[in-house]
Amino acid sequence: MNAHDMPQNSVTASLHYDERYMEAALSYGRRGMGTTAPNPSVGAVVVVDNGNGGRIVGAGWTQPGGRPHAETVALAEAGEAARGSTLYVTLEPCSHHGKTPPCVDAIRAAGVRRVVVATVDPDSRVSGRGIEILRQAGLRVTVGICEAQALRDHLGHIRRATLGRPMVQLKMALSRDGMVGLRGPRPAVISSPESFGRAHMLRAQSDAIMIGVGTALADDPQLTCRLPGLEHRSPVRFVVDARLRLPLDSKLVRSARKVPVKVITTETAPVGPEIALRAAGIDVLRVRETLPGRIDLPAMLGLLGTMGLTRVMVEGGPTLANALLDEGLIDEALMVAGDVVIGGEGLPAFDEPVEERLWRAGLAATSTFRVGPDVMTLYQIS
């Protein structure tokens, strides 16, 4: 009997059961975000049916550096209990030989009876082949449970596999009157401590963080994760700097030997500042120009893709944000509305309302929530 032959209440119960365990797998997968590049951060749980709704006997997520994979970790924890079980995994199991054997081999060897997959892997080395191998081996395979959430969680991997670039998440803090700061090289505090904590968690879940040189000059930021216990999760820091104006005495330069800093500039930028930055431990990456002094942003993101990066968080000011939005290169935007009013000395984020600006870039609000006194709105590609 298949799902189409089952009574409707049985189908509904089965879907609810599958969704519950896939949500658990997705939750595990998020633990590795920002640590697994160039691999996706996958989550997996092994469930045995105990006649009372099932029980998780093994759980795992992709480990730092991308190996071992989530399925291998979960199956190892389950041990012999995996025989006859159901494996829930947030991305199609790999079927190709790399530095480790294919996960489909480990799944078959463990004696798993059924595999539930959230979404197919678009990587051309897999892309349906893993699912087909498991079915040919006699396993029951269900695809598409919690797929919408899995697509969001794995968007970085999907973008790199299909477009050759990482996912780009824009994070901006705006005052109540739509300003991102004060004009000139003067920082302004807009967000609450609670919002800062959320922002630092986002940094920990990113492979890289990026700003424009204007933000570096105005704010002199560190761009590290400073949450207790997660300091080691600070992402690689990028500065988009077409004319190599990043000061040698900035916090970014002075800390470059502790947390990597890379400066992206144009092919025609002066050589002298590059030599000084390299001497301070900074990588300088030159990208072609579209116009004099204007970096080719798609080429820049393509370069980051070749470096294995999948999730890039942009915390820059309006110049970089608007340039990326104009090119359709923002996949997700988190806008933090503070309760501060800056007034006439403020630097506006956009020259139109936030909703309209993001809508023109193909982004629509999907959720709004409060963090301390601030309101955060998440916009995602529609």
19 assigned ligand-binding residue? no
Catalytic residue ranges: 71
Neighbours of 168 (CB within 10 A): 24
- CA 194 to CA 326: how far, in whole Å? 31
- CA 181 to CA 173: how far, in whole Å? 9
Phi, psi of 379 (to 5 degrees): -115, 135
146 assigned ligand-binding residue? no
The residues that bridge with 172 in the sheet, in sequence order, are 335
315 assigned ligand-binding residue? yes
55 assigned ligand-binding residue? no
The 8-class DSSP code of residue 245 comes to -
69 assigned ligand-binding residue? yes
203 assigned ligand-binding residue? yes
319 assigned ligand-binding residue? yes
202 assigned ligand-binding residue? no
39 assigned ligand-binding residue? no
Two structure tokens written together for 17:
């059961």
Q: Report how far Cα 376 is from the mean position of its chain's Cα atoms.
A: 18
323 assigned ligand-binding residue? yes
**Of 269, 252, 267, 192, whose CA–CA distance to 217 is shortest?**
252
320 assigned ligand-binding residue? yes
Q: Are 295 and 264 in contact (CB under 8 A)?
A: yes
Q: Alpha helices, DSSP H only, in 87-146?
A: 103-109, 129-136
- CA 67 to CA 32: how far, in whole Å? 11
135 assigned ligand-binding residue? no
**Which residues carry a binding-site annotation for substrate?**
203, 223, 226, 315
**Which residues carry a binding-site annotation for NADP(+)?**
173, 215, 219, 317-323
